[in-house]
């Protein structure tokens, strides 16, 4: 695909969406590492509308085009995963007008409640309740289960004991590649909207993993005796190992509010006894950060533990756990109008806070007052991560 092809592709896509009366241009988003992004509102039928996001190569570099193609392939494999951004189709789409060009573009769902990065930035002086942390933990686990066992249509993201898992790793799991969708009617998303992974440009089947250092095995795994938590006959592979480590690293960054934490720094930070964490939550994050992949929890255990914590757990202070409080939190944490120019953060002075020393604890009574800001960098990406992995053939679609 030449430079002229990329320019022509952009022009034809722009003409199609701007000239078709079904679509109303909303805005361009800042380009990510590989793709240009534009948001449109589509009129479907009888006045019903939906927002869509168009992504296509940002330039004619081979790496850029390859990244978009790679994302198209893997999102096809994961098309039924609820915790991965949805690929959309449109009736009488632009494909017919692209004869002679590589059709390197993708139409994605618009996730209305912004990125995890935005949420954490705006709550930087607030200590999130453990139940919110567990909810985020569960969403990341669901997405990782989907990468190991891509679900069939209508099925949950669940481990399949009799099916060999894919060794697929996202390889770019960070807080700007996690976007909040809508609140759901299910118990797992009562307090927090569904959190979905985006940007699969770097995703790959993992064929190599580095050996942990002796110092890390001794000073972290050995000192904390993480090997005693191993479950016999756990199903794992190098892709699962990488994703579980990324989950642990992201949870540590969320907890300590430092998005730049390295693996080593996260191992040190999670052992800080002053962190307002339940022992079980701290232990599970700690195990995800284990130097030895065999000491990390398998996905079936991770899903079982996080799901139970979100759905079945009874927390202290039952006055804040009533059905009415759940309803208020569910309806109030995010504005239903979304972030596209309508949603706005209420000032911190309007949020009821329970003060403790130099920080504030966000109770369920204050969650109901919390909303999301307008998004300024939707689908933003960080720098590519160097990996030792090979891409699967295009025909592989397990």
Q: Is 135 helix (H, G, I), strand (E, B) or coil?
A: helix
Per CATH, the number for 116-121+128-311 is 1.10.510.10
Q: Checking phi first, is residue 367 left (phi over 0); if not, alpha (psi -120 to 50) or beta?
A: alpha
pTM comes to: 0.80
Alpha carbons within 13 A on the beta-carbon side of 229: 22
Write the class of the CATH domain 3-110: alpha beta
Cα distance between residue 342 and residue 163, in whole Å: 45
- pLDDT by residue for the chain (398 residues), tens only, comes to 566 777 777 788 878 888 888 999 998 887 766 788 899 999 988 879 999 999 988 887 888 889 999 999 999 999 999 999 999 988 776 765 444 445 688 999 999 888 999 888 887 877 788 988 999 999 999 999 999 999 999 999 999 989 999 999 999 999 999 999 987 656 688 778 999 999 999 999 999 988 999 999 999 999 999 999 998 878 899 999 999 999 999 999 999 999 999 999 999 999 999 999 999 999 999 999 999 999 999 999 999 999 999 987 665 554 444 445 445 444 444 443 333 223 322 222 223 333 333 444 444 334 334 443 333 333 333 333 333 332 233 333 33
231 DSSP assignment: P
The structural domains of the chain, with segments of one domain joined by +, span 3-110, 116-121+128-311, 319-367
């Amino acid at each position: 695909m030449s430079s002229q092809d990329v320019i022509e592709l952009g022009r034809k896509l722009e003409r199609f969406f701007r000239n078709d009366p079904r679509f109303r241009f909303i805005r361009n988003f800042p380009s990510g590492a590989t793709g240009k992004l534009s948001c449109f509102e589509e009129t479907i039928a009888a006045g019903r509308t939906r927002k869509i996001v168009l992504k296509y190569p940002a330039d004619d570099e081979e790496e850029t085009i390859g990244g978009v193609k790679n994302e198209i392939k893997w999102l096809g494999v994961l098309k039924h995963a609820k915790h991965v951004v949805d690929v959309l189709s449109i009736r009488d789409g632009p494909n017919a007008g692209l004869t002679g060009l590589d059709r390197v573009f993708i139409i994605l769902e618009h996730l209305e409640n912004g990125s995890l990065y935005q949420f954490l930035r705006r709550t930087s002086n607030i200590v999130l309740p453990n139940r919110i942390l567990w909810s985020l933990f569960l969403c990341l686990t669901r997405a990782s289960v989907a990468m190991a066992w891509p679900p069939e249509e209508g099925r949950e993201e669940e481990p399949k004991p009799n099916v060999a898992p894919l060794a697929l790793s996202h390889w770019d799991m960070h807080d700007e590649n996690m976007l909040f969708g809508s609140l759901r009617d299910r118990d797992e998303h009562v307090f927090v909207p569904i959190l979905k992974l985006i940007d699969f440009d770097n995703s790959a089947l993992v064929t190599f993993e580095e050996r942990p250092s002796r110092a890390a095995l001794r000073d972290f795994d050995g000192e904390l005796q993480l090997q005693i938590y191993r479950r016999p006959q756990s199903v794992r592979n190098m892709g699962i190992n990488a994703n579980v480590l990324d989950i642990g690293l992201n949870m540590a960054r969320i907890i300590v509010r430092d998005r730049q934490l390295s693996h080593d720094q996260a191992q040190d930070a999670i052992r800080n006894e002053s962190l307002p964490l339940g022992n079980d939550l701290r232990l599970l994050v700690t195990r995800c950060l284990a130097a030895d992949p065999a000491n990390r929890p398998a996905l079936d255990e991770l899903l079982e533990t996080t799901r139970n914590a979100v759905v079945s757990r009874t927390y202290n202070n039952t006055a804040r756990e009533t059905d009415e409080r759940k309803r208020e939190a569910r309806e109030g944490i995010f504005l239903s109008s979304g972030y596209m120019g309508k949603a706005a953060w209420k000032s911190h002075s309007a949020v009821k806070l329970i003060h403790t020393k130099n920080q504030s604890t966000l109770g369920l009574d204050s969650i109901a007052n919390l909303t999301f800001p307008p998004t300024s960098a939707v689908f933003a990406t960080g720098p590519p991560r160097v990996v030792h992995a090979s891409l699967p053939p295009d025909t592989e679609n397990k």
